[in-house]
């Protein structure tokens, strides 16, 4: 189960001057029962706005101030993430797909000052839309605006793998710096586990490159980690190679 479900909406010109925005039907069908009829939209600069979630028409109503104050226009993309209770976080992307530089402002009904926006705390996002098809995409174009904002902070080579927050019930039992043993048949690899700075998820660090090379892993391959002997640090690994489309 997705603990923090999200959806994205690329705005049309008619929505930018409206007070409502349609929520994808697939999202409502899967998660709508968990979301209250009134939610608080949160932006990382401290901006907050209470809006209504109309479950019949599948729309957020009351977003007019938000659209106006952030200058939304056709082509902007909004990424909404439900964080539990009444909170819905929103990330704003410009027409090129890169997260905007948030202005220091809050809603006029708020009495607090804007919050400082930190890349190191909340990260920075961009989005690319890919076409349908069976071809595996091995590269993604990074928007210039994103590269200009945070490109210097990103290493040229990444040698770790994120463990999804969906598995935090397991990863929470690991130490800040820990190790797990992985087995494929009679072969074994020791992988180093580290907890990220935000403490919300862990990464596989040391040993990953050797593990990947020894198993000849490639883009599109799937590795399934299965408990071994009910131990939280021992796993059997099943590798499923991607299916190559001969067409």
Where are the chain's structural domains?
A: 6-153, 161-240
**Report for 1-5, 125-129, 159-163: range of highest mean pLDDT:** 159-163
Which positions ≥6 away from 36 have C-beta within 8 Å?
53, 85, 86
Average pLDDT over every residue of 221-242: 90
Average pLDDT over every residue of 158-169: 81
Residue appearing with tokens 């009134």? 38
Which positions ≥6 away from 26 have C-beta within 8 Å?
none
**Domain 161-240 belongs to what architecture?**
Beta Barrel (2.40)
Average pLDDT over every residue of 181-201: 86
**pLDDT for res 129:** 73
**Domain 6-153 belongs to what architecture?**
Beta Barrel (2.40)
Phi-psi region of 164 (alpha: psi -120 to 50; beta: other; left: phi over 0): beta
**pLDDT for res 137:** 64
Using CA atoms, how far apart are residues 66 and 71, in angstroms rounded to an integer?
Answer: 8
Q: In the predicted model, is pLDDT for residue 98 greater than 50? A: yes
């Amino acid at each position: 189960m997705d603990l923090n479900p999200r959806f994205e909406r690329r705005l049309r010109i008619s929505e930018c001057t409206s007070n409502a925005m349609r929520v994808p039907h697939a999202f409502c069908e899967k998660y709508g029962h968990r979301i209250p009829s009134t939610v608080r939209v949160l932006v990382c600069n401290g901006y907050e706005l209470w809006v209504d979630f109309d479950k019949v028409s599948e729309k957020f109503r009351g977003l007019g101030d938000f659209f106006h104050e952030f200058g939304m226009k056709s082509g902007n993309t909004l990424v909404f993430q439900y964080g539990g209770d009444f909170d819905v976080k929103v990330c704003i992307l410009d027409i090129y797909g890169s997260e905007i530089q948030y202005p220091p402002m809050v809603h006029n009904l708020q009495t607090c000052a804007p919050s400082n926006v930190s890349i190191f705390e909340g990260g920075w996002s961009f989005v690319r839309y890919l076409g349908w098809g069976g071809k595996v995409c091995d590269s993604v174009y990074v928007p210039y605006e994103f590269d200009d904002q945070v490109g210097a902070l990103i290493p040229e080579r990444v040698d770790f793998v994120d463990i999804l927050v969906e598995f935090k019930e397991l990863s929470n039992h690991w130490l800040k710096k820990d190790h797990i043993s992985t087995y494929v048949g009679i072969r074994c690899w020791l992988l180093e586990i580290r907890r990220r700075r935000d403490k919300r998820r862990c990464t596989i660090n040391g040993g990953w490159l050797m593990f990947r090379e020894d198993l000849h892993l490639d883009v599109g391959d799937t590795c399934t980690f299965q408990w071994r002997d009910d131990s939280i640090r021992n796993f059997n690994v099943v590798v499923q190679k991607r299916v190559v489309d001969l067409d």
